[in-house]
């Protein structure tokens, strides 16, 4: 909410005429009354029309905070008069009273979380001639690169393509559902639709820069000259991989490698860094932990993940050293090798054996034993 509170000032300073919200303002199963009340208070303070079409995460139903009667009964006050919500699951048109009569908004809400098929907005668009036609559409653009490898998530909402958008006749389509920014341009270099994405990073699947979009909608689209991307949240989440090797013996050496990786990834003082350590450290390395305060000068916050780090035991030397065969360590390594040969065609089993061998070697060398997880 702290980030959202910046929006009214941006709306005023940029002389925005209308705010478009194509869904997923909250998670329906988790939204608290206090949060909904504050959200609508912020929207009401913008003093310009706010048009909302509920999506698959904040779908409309009689006990939703989008329902005027329920909101007023629970919160004790009505929705702000400048907030306009599409509450029909079928496409409908909206012309705002006491505002620009030359603009028609088109939209439809979700009434439950699972709606699939072709989005109705592009089946038979009802374009009003002589007016600006602006659609708010919550759905999946099938020819976008976003979620291209995850069809299950992509298919959680009604679909359409960039060709559908360009052929629809809408002057502009505000898109919701995808959490990353993308846009659709026509052959005249006018922007006909865009996902703004979420306006702040919330997890490792949202590591790109995030924006709100400002633009001047004209007949035929938004000219590039008026298109602006504004960041409300100063913090990015940056995923940083750091390779280690058995020459690493101290925490100081790891800190230095992380610092160099920060430089390569241009991690700044406002960024949240998720550091994935990978590879091996020297066998004598003691604790798998860092004093993360030593990284505070380089970023706003840091989390260090050790899950892919192991001690670099020289398995080959142990296996071929005759004298080691008489020791517990040597016998353990040879026994694990026998288990590996027996499971040669079972990749999951081989991974379990590999992790068990590392845990056993840690224990036999008197080192900290960390739990590992593998599928069986």
- pLDDT tens digits for range 133-182: 999 999 999 988 776 555 656 567 889 999 999 999 999 999 999 888 89
pLDDT in tens, 66-116: 999 999 999 999 999 999 999 999 999 999 988 999 999 999 999 986 667
The mean pLDDT of 332-354, rounded to a whole number, is: 91
Strand duo 172-176 + 190-195: pairing: parallel
Which of the given ranges, 14-23, 286-295, 335-344, 349-358, has the highest pLDDT on average?
14-23
Contacts of 321 (CB under 8 A, 6+ apart): 330
**pLDDT for position 211:** 84
- Tally Cβ neighbours within 10 Å of residue 29: 7
Kindly indicate the confidence band of residue 374, based on its pLDDT and cuts at 50, 70 and 90: low
Helices (H), 274-346: 315-320, 328-342
Could you read off the pLDDT of 307-335 as tens digits, one per residue?
A: 889 999 988 888 888 788 789 999 999 99
Q: Given this model, what pLDDT does residue 215 score?
A: 96
Q: So what's the pLDDT on residue 47?
A: 87
Mapped onto helix, strand or coil, the DSSP state of residue 254 is helix
Query: Percent of the chain having pLDDT more than 90?
Result: 64
Segments making up each domain of the chain, as ranges = 4-230, 234-312, 314-376
CA dist., res. 272 & res. 265, Å (int): 12
pTM value > 0.85:
no
User: How much is the pLDDT for 102?
Assistant: 95
Structure tokens, 259 = 């610092």
4-230: CATH number: 3.60.21.10
Can you read off the two tokens belonging to residue 175? 């898109």
């Amino acid at each position: 909410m702290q980030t959202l509170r910046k929006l009214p000032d941006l709306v005023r300073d940029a002389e925005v005429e209308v705010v478009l919200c194509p869904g997923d303002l909250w998670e329906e199963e988790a939204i608290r009354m206090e949060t909904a009340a504050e959200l609508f208070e912020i929207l009401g303070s913008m003093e310009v029309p706010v048009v909302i079409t509920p999506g698959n995460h904040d779908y409309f139903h009689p006990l939703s905070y989008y329902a005027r009667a329920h909101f007023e009964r629970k919160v004790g006050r009505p929705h702000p008069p400048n907030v306009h919500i599409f509450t029909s699951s079928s496409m409908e048109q909206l012309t705002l009273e006491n505002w620009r009569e030359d603009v028609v908004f088109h939209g439809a809400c979700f009434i439950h979380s699972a709606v699939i098929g072709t989005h109705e907005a592009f089946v038979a668009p009802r374009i009003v001639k002589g007016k600006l036609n602006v659609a708010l559409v919550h759905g999946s653009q099938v020819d976008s690169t976003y979620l291209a490898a995850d069809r299950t998530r992509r298919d959680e909402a009604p679909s359409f393509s960039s060709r559908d958008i360009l052929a629809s006749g809408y002057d502009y389509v505000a898109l919701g559902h995808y959490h990353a920014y993308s846009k659709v341009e026509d052959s005249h270099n006018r922007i006909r639709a865009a996902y703004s994405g979420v306006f702040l990073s919330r997890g490792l699947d949202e590591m790109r820069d995030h924006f709100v979009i400002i633009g001047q909608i004209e007949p035929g689209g938004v000219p590039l000259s008026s298109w602006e991307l504004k960041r409300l949240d100063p913090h990015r989440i940056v995923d940083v991989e750091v390779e280690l090797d058995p020459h690493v013996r101290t925490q100081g050496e790891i800190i230095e490698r992380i610092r160099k990786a920060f430089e390569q990834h241009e991690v700044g003082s406002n960024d949240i860094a998720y550091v994935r350590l990978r590879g091996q450290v020297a066998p004598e390395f003691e604790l798998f932990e860092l004093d993360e305060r030593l990284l505070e000068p380089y970023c706003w916050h840091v989390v260090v993940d050790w899950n892919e780090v192991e001690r670099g035991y020289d398995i080959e030397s142990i296996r071929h050293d005759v004298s080691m065969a008489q020791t517990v360590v040597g016998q353990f390594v040879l026994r694990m090798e026998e288990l590996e040969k027996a499971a040669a065609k079972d990749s999951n089993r081989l991974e379990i054996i590999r992790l068990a061998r590392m845990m056993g070697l840690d224990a036999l060398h008197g080192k900290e034993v960390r739990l590992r997880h593998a599928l069986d």
